[in-house]
Amino acid sequence: MKKRAMLSRAAAGGVTLALGLTLAACGGSSSGGNGSGTFHVLVYGDATNKVEKQIVDTFNKTSKVKAVLDTIPGADYQQKLQTIINTKQAPDVFFNWGGGSIQPFVKAGLLQPLDGMIAKDPALKSDFLPSVFNGAVIDGKPYGVPMRGTQPVLLFNNAQVLKDAGLTPPKTWDDLLSDVKVLKDKGKTPIALGGGDQWPTLMWFEYLYDRIAGPDLFQKAMSGDKSAWDSPDSRKALSMLKQLVDAGAFGKNFDSVKYTDGGSVALVATGKAGFELMGSWYYSQQQQDHPDFAKSGLGYSTFPTVDGGKGDPQDIAGNTNNYYSVMKKAKNQDAIAQFLKLMYSDEFVKAQMAIGNLPTTTNTEQFLSTSASPAYSQFQYNLVKSAPSFQLSWDQAYPPSAITPIHQAVQEFFDGQLDADGFIKAMQALPTS
């Protein structure tokens, strides 16, 4: 009898302890709740936060409703966002990559379509470059406002290596193939590729598919029509990629090379390779890793055209921009609309340019000369401005569950584990929602 009493008392003690733990756990997150006169802005934590902080301060100077900036550091952003977005700790406004990164949230009815805000202030749409603004349009409705810099993918080169081989940056695909042959005969790796990271390989697919089939093929596939992958255009793109790989364009050990640990970057900088296809951040990467080379020897050009291709030669691919999206349940929608207006302000553009980002607002043009590398900024800006279509990276256009299968498929196609049929099958098996 006594024993049982003791047991239950101990159990009660244990429960209290457990309750205490739970309460303690809750206590830590109460700061995430929505106070009445504030809204929370969640951004990816990195060096650009300096600008976001400045813009929030500017906003708070005049607004009664205050913005609070929260950051999630580093690469875990998407995971952590996913875990909090449907809880009380969810932010009101948050950073994202547009496309597939917000599509599941749209499907779950969590996001506020921005057409209401745009109706009240048309500049929220018209002051941004259309090809970039479209990156966060889902099912015909806008869900995001561009809030950082654009990062189109370019074909970079080592100017000295090209000069020594008597070459110029390739204008057409055939030029590229013949450049590859010349460089290979000279004992160089014609094109550096960080295949170990997988996503650099994907960039070749994005561009070639667009050049050959135009943006429609991918749009069709994304909307669920899987036959697009088995179309003649798709097969043509694959056979051309295969031809490039088989010609030894990337050498034989590209899957052991990474971009993220500086391997492929060094290949180009040290003159062991001629070209590398990479996002526009490549320039600052080279500035950081190989400053002398970045200053004197780094060249860049657009992706070569393909004869007879349906895609516009001015189309580009890459990261359109990052976006602010608004939660449907956010209380201070009007204040948030005022906040978003700052994303096309002169102050915003200047602050972004100062840290090396290239904003995608129409007024950016006036400030291009203030950039640290004006020619490079001008080149990119013109590219993005005149691009009829800006293909969002496939791994960002698809929902997150497709990322790994896409990366695996492109890697396996390049290293010969998958043939065209295998690749087509892998792409057809991707979840589109």
Is residue 9 close enough to count as binding other proteins by CB under 8 A? yes
Look at phi and psi of residue 271 and say left if phi exceeds 0, alpha if psi is from -120 to 50, else beta: left
Among 36, 252, 307, 375, binds other proteins (CB under 8 A): 252
When the beta carbons of 47 and 75 are compared against other proteins, the nearer one is 75
Helix (H, G, I), strand (E, B) or coil at 108: coil
Site size toward other proteins, by CB under 8 A: 49
Is residue 267 close enough to count as binding other proteins by CB under 8 A? yes
Helix (H, G, I), strand (E, B) or coil at 390: strand
**Shortest CB 415 distance to other proteins, Å:** 5
Question: With contact defined as beta carbons under 8 Å apart, do 348 and 359 qualify?
Answer: yes
What DSSP string describes 153-211?
EEEEEEHHHHHHTT----SBHHHHHHHHHHHHHTTSEEEE--GGGSHHHHHHHHHHHHH
Among 41, 258, 326, 352, binds other proteins (CB under 8 A): 258
Task: For residue 141, list its beta bridge partners.
Answer: 138
Q: Which stretch binds other proteins (CB under 8 A): 167-175, 262-270, 292-300, 317-325?
A: 262-270
Task: For residue 320, list its beta bridge partners.
Answer: none
Residues 6+ apart with CB under 8 A from 10: none
Binding positions for other proteins, 344-403, rule CB under 8 A: 400-403
Site string for other proteins, 139-158 (x = CB under 8 A): --------------------
Among 256, 382, 386, 428, binds other proteins (CB under 8 A): 256
> Residue 255 phi/psi, 5° resolution?
-75, -10
Calculate the alpha carbon distances from 188 to 1, 179, 264, 295, 426 in Å: 86, 11, 13, 22, 33
Is residue 75 close enough to count as binding other proteins by CB under 8 A? no
Site string for other proteins, 168-207 (x = CB under 8 A): ---------------------x-----xxxx---------
**Shortest CB 426 distance to other proteins, Å:** 10
Is residue 83 close enough to count as binding other proteins by CB under 8 A? yes
C-alpha span between 169 and 155 (Å, rounded)? 9
Binding site for other proteins (CB under 8 A): 2-3, 6-7, 9-11, 13-14, 17-18, 79, 82-83, 85-86, 104-105, 108, 110, 189, 195-198, 251-258, 261, 263, 266-267, 272, 400-404, 408, 411-412, 415, 417-418
